[in-house]
């Protein structure tokens, strides 16, 4: 269960965009044309609709689709030939207006010219994929629209990200230290068990340094790793190159943010819940948990530690003014 609605920018702005799905009949049934993104600031290495882009001032959604297909695929479309597939209203647990979007997906099997990569700096390749056998790495909200097309639910109204929430999970020393920059400064088996119980079945969001310190994907959880290193990959990790990408990949669920210090600092302002282990130690270290402001955070539960190690308590805090978490 999530912990309250996603925050939205006060001006209520929405960014409109049109996505064009070219389709044809192939030897394996209906096929759609997808591009492999590269050289862009968003979702590089993922498969996406053949053409897409923002609706410019004075344009309709179909007109934007015609323009984007010409610019990105080198083909000519006619607005009257575009059929509505789905509208996706999406957000994430960030209040940045650029993450509040309305995406209109249109499709056609009629065009003039041969589709090709017309903007090589933005796409690595184009490929026809059977609609019944799409690749694993399709941009998540685009896959939802393509699934609607496959299932014949044309005209579907879909939402994405509105049930997303952020929960920060950390073990924190009395001096605020959570690590030395490469590893945790303690070994607390009881807290490892608590961490497993808290996060199993959920989505973990972490930086690459935290992934490296763990060394593997943890069973029973999906892991999204944020890294600036292009081309980085690891078995069991879904890779994102920004926080916004990571939250799009995480989807409509409670997202457990588990480190490191930079990721905590970027997300605490947008989190709805903190699950903290108070450790009765003051280790040396350069990585600290952000300050927890009592004017913002309200303690809702406290469980004493087992008494045979340095765990003082497990504490849950919720953002003041947010809807009460259902238990």
- Tokens 């079945």 label which residue? 201
pLDDT given at position 231: 85
| Cβ neighbours for 236, distance < 8 A, ≥ 6 positions apart | 216, 217, 223
Q: Domains along the chain?
A: 15-160 (3.90.79.10), 165-319 (3.40.430.10)
Closest CA to 287 of 168, 180, 211, 187: 180
Question: What phi, psi does 51 have (nearest 5°)?
Answer: -145, 145
- Over the stretch 62-110, which tens digit does the pLDDT of each residue have? 999 999 999 999 999 999 999 999 999 999 998 777 789 999 999 999 9
- Over the stretch 167-180, which tens digit does the pLDDT of each residue have? 999 999 999 999 87
- Over the stretch 294-318, which tens digit does the pLDDT of each residue have? 999 999 999 999 988 899 999 999 9
234-243, long-range: CB < 8 A, 24+ apart: 237/211, 239/45, 241/44, 242/41, 242/42, 243/94, 243/267
Q: How many of the other CB atoms lie within 10 Å of CB of 110?
A: 11
Closest CA to 105 of 120, 121, 85, 119: 85
pLDDT given at position 109: 98
Is a pLDDT exceeding 70 seen at residue 271?
yes
pLDDT given at position 94: 86
């Amino acid at each position: 269960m999530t912990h309250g609605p996603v925050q939205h920018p006060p001006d209520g702005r929405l960014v409109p965009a049109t996505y064009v799905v070219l389709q044809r009949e192939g030897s394996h049934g209906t096929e759609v044309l997808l591009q492999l993104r590269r050289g862009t600031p968003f979702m590089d290495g993922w498969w996406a609709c053949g053409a897409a882009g923002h609706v410019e001032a004075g344009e309709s959604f179909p007109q934007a689709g015609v323009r984007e297909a010409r610019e990105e695929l080198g083909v000519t479309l006619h607005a009257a030939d575009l059929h509505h597939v789905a509208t996706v209203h999406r957000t994430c647990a960030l209040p940045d207006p650029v993450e509040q979007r309305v995406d209109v997906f249109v499709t056609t099997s009629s065009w003039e010219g041969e589709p090709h990569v017309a903007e090589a700096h933005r796409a690595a390749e184009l490929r026809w994929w059977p609609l019944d056998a799409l690749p694993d790495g399709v941009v998540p909200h685009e896959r939802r629209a393509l699934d609607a097309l496959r299932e014949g639910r044309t005209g579907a109204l879909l939402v994405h990200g509105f049930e997303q929430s952020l929960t920060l999970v950390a073990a924190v020393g009395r001096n605020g230290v959570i690590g030395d920059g490469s590893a945790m400064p303690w070994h607390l088996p009881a807290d490892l068990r608590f961490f497993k119980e808290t996060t199993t079945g959920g989505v973990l969001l972490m930086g690459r340094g935290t992934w490296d310190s763990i060394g593997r994907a943890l069973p029973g959880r999906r892991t999204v790793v944020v890294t600036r290193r292009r081309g980085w990959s690891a078995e069991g990790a879904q890779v994102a190159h920004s926080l916004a990408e990571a939250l799009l990949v995480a989807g409509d669920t409670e997202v457990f943010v588990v480190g490191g210090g930079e990721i905590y600092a970027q997300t605490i302002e947008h989190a709805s819940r903190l699950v903290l282990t108070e450790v009765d130690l003051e280790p040396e270290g350069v990585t600290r948990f952000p300050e927890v402001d009592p004017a913002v955070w309200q303690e809702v539960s406290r469980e004493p530690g087992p008494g045979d190690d340095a765990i003082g308590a497990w504490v849950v805090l919720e953002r003041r003014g947010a809807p009460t978490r259902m238990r």
